[in-house]
Amino acid sequence: MNNYETVFIVTPVLSDAQVQEVADKFQGVITENGGQIVNKESWGLRKLAYPIQKKTTGFYFLVEFTGEGSLIGTLETQYRRDERI
């Protein structure tokens, strides 16, 4: 198993409960596909380096995990399908 880390940014228009739901969803994707979470951090609301979809801020999350290489493709697919990311 390899070590990985991912940072994802959640849209700032969601409530705190919805933001946490999104974070839990992607942590679940990791564990459901054979990965193990080593560390997770919420960096909170931060300014983006440049606007994305007309938004200038977002909620940042860092997740460090171990898993097989095939997990990365699954995780990226889930990121692309979720409009809250």
List the chain pLDDT tens, one digit each, 85 residues: 899 999 999 999 999 999 999 999 999 999 999 999 999 999 999 999 999 989 999 999 999 999 998 999 999 999 999 999 8
Which pLDDT belongs to residue 1? 85
Residue the block writes with tokens 């889930």: 78
Six token digits for residue 68: 């097989």
Count how many Cα atoms sit within 13 Å of the Cα of residue 78 in the half-sphere of its side chain.
18
Which pLDDT belongs to residue 76? 94
Distance CA 44, CA 42 (A): 5
Q: Give the pTM.
A: 0.87
User: Which CATH number does 2-58 carry?
Assistant: 3.30.70.60
Q: How many C-beta atoms surround the C-beta of residue 43 within 10 A?
A: 12
